[in-house]
Amino acid sequence: MTIKAAFKVQRANFSLDVDFELPAHGVTALFGPSGCGKTTLLRAMAGLERCVGHFWLGELCWQQHKLFVPTHKRRLGYVFQEASLFAHLSVKGNLEYGWRRLPHAQRRTDKEQIIDWLGLTPMLAQGASELSGGQRQRVAIGRALLSSPELLLLDEPLSALDAKAKREILPLLEHLSAQAKVPVFYVTHAPQEVERLADRVLLMEQGRILHNDHLQQALARPNSLLYRDEEVAGIISGQLQSSLPDGRVPFLYGAENAPAGCIWLTGQEGLTFGAARLRILASDVSIALAPVIDISIVNQLPAQVLSMTDIGQGRVLLRLALAQGEQIPAQLSAYSVAQLDLKVGCDCYALIKAAALLV
């Protein structure tokens, strides 16, 4: 099932002109500089911008030629930067607002499970006006999900929260796609949120979509907007296992039922086992042409050079493919690249000096 969308919005000093197609599942991050049109695109999907275009969610059509399904008839959940809860209702009342109005047959989400997942059980009786920003946002997400939407739109849901509240909500959002069971569009300015939550990325600039990528492709672009202020990093999904008596923690990457390999991590407080994403900085990866013995680096993974890009100042950014196609970047000096005679297609070993779990 795919989402097919095209919108043209014309304003005095801004025009949005997008046309894209992507799978109708998982989390798609909308990423780009301020004013590039991310919110306008969400609004167009929600039917809040009356504009030229079309919008298909699989077989379901919300806009095409003269057909325009008004917002209130679109089954969608919309979460804004600041949760707009009904102040006169309790948490329970807010959560059940859309859910109660749905015929039983259309209720596709498990109410208890969502309340539990978002940690809202202890505050169900509280008034919405008594909640902290983070709690309000959790209620807003729960309310959107309980309305059993066909599409979930989140517009910078964490941007108004302090660091502590962000730390509490981000791990919850990792399960958003599984809980929502519908496509999610997630607007953010934070590369860390893209790395952690997104399956796909729509990179936007000046009202246009520059790239419609898998997360890995988005991270693989040497001059990606995702790295404008940061170092290039790669993300690997896998399963965190329990630690060994010597303190090492195995992270099995690749398919859950047939892992492709293991990256060893050092134990740290508060690790939760199970599905996780690992962040590897390009500058923490070195290359060897053969396995190296007598070295302190324990992670030496067979890899193949997919691409090499000169990024200036005598540095080269390599994109490496690991066993099952997982990709990581490596940043080397041009001198080392020449010394090792590295070329696209070369087999090599990626020596990973450090990797951090996204917690």
Ligand X SMILES: Nc1ncnc2c1ncn2[C@@H]1O[C@H](COP(=O)(O)OP(=O)(O)OP(=O)(O)O)[C@@H](O)[C@H]1O
Contacts of range 208-214, beta carbons closer than 8 Å, 24 or more positions apart: 208/17, 208/18, 209/18, 209/19, 209/20, 210/32, 212/20, 212/21, 212/22
| Least distance between ligand X and beta carbon 210 (Å) | 13
Could you tell me the two tokens for 199?
């399956």
Q: Give me 34's structure tokens.
A: 């301020």
- Which residue's CB is nearer to ligand X, number 210 or number 356? 210
Q: Which residues of 19-35 are buried (b: 16+ CB within 10 A; e: fewer)?
A: eeebebbbbbbbbbeee
> Least distance (Å) from ligand X to the CB of residue 173?
19
Q: What size, in residues, is the chain?
A: 359
Min dist. Cβ of residue 188 to ligand X (A): 9
Strands of 27-31's sheet in order across: 76-79, 151-155, 184-188, 27-31, 200-205, 208-214
- Which residue, 48 or 334, is less far from ligand X as judged by CB? 48
**Is the CB of 96 or the CB of 155 nearer to ligand X?**
155
Residues 7 and 132: their CA atoms lie apart, in Å, by 36
Question: How many angstroms from the chain centroid is the CA of residue 186?
Answer: 8
| Whether the Cβ atoms of residue 352 and residue 251 lie closer than 8 Å to each other | no
State the minimum distance, in angstroms, from the CB of residue 269 to ligand X. Answer: 35
Minimum distance, C-beta of residue 202 to ligand X, in the bound complex (Å): 11
**CA separation for the pair 164, 297 (Å, rounded):** 34
**Shortest distance in whole angstroms from residue 45 CB to ligand X:** 12
* CB nearer to ligand X: pick between 38 and 279: 38
List contacts with ligand X (CB under 6 A). Answer: 11, 14, 34-40
Looking at the Cβ atoms of 36 and 95, the one nearer to ligand X is: 36
What is the nearest approach in angstroms of ligand X to the Cβ of residue 66? 25
Rounded CA-CA distance 34/207 in Å is 11
Phi and psi dihedrals of 172, rounded to 5? -65, -40
For ligand X, give the closer residue by CB, 15 or 336. Answer: 15
Q: Which is nearer to ligand X, 34 or 296 (CB)?
A: 34
